[in-house]
Structure 1
């Protein structure tokens, strides 16, 4: 029984190998020496095409390199121009800051002067009013004394 199973398995393996070999595609036939010689003669035209493609690619690369260097120059010029404008604006800003400080100082000085003038006017008015009041009070006391002295 054991031998029979092995025989059946062996036959099954043989059938599978045959089926597999029938279903598996055959490898392509190798080219003959004549085809190889033809390919060798066709190589120079292929090399020439590759060389043309190489030259075209090289030319495109040079053009792109030139464009890139031009773009770099333009961006550098723009950057330099912007930096000079920035410096000019910084100077203008500093001048405006100085003017603003000067104007603020003038306003503070004007306020101080106005306060001093106000204090002086108020003090002068108070002194004048005080002088008249003191004169009236003095006259009143003198009048009261005279009135007592006459009695």
Structure 2
């Protein structure tokens, strides 16, 4: 009787487990063992494809690296050329500044000399005019004295 009791208990427990199993939502379906075997056989082709993609990506990276080094080298050459041109232009600019200062000095000296000459001409003209005026004034006074002395 005990064996019957256990087997009935086992049957009830089995039914209960089945009912509980149906009540819980089932997880996503898993691939069967056959699908897993197929995947294992397909893995080498996937690995080969991944390896080909890796090699292609590696080649592209090398090409990009080469292009970048070429661009950096060209950029450096351009920068060096521009720096040398900048130095040459800086020297030219300094020479032009010196020439400009010299020309300004010449212009200032010329203006100074012209003012000096103008003052000298005006002074000489004033002296000549003054000489004639003083001569006339002196004659006028002499003439007046003589006129008074005659009377």
Which category describes the TM-score, using the shorter chain as reference length?
0.7 to 0.9
* Structure-2 residue corresponding to 1:93: 93
* Structure-2 residue corresponding to 1:49: 49
* Structure-2 residue corresponding to 1:135: 135
Once superposed, what is the RMSD of the aligned Cα atoms?
2.2
* Structure-1 residue corresponding to 2:29: 28
TM-score between both structures, scaled by the size of structure 1: 0.77
Matches within 5 A, 1:1-151: 27-32=28-33, 34-151=34-151
For these two proteins, the number of residue pairs brought into alignment is 132
In the TM superposition, residue 89 of structure 1 has moved relative to its aligned partner by 1.3
Write the distance in 2 (CA, Å) between the matches of 1:42 and 1:134: 133
Q: Which runs of 5+ in 1 are unaligned?
A: 1-16
Write the distance in 1 (CA, Å) between the matches of 2:27 and 2:119: 121
Q: Which runs of 5+ in 2 are unaligned?
A: 1-18
In the TM superposition, residue 91 of structure 1 has moved relative to its aligned partner by 1.3
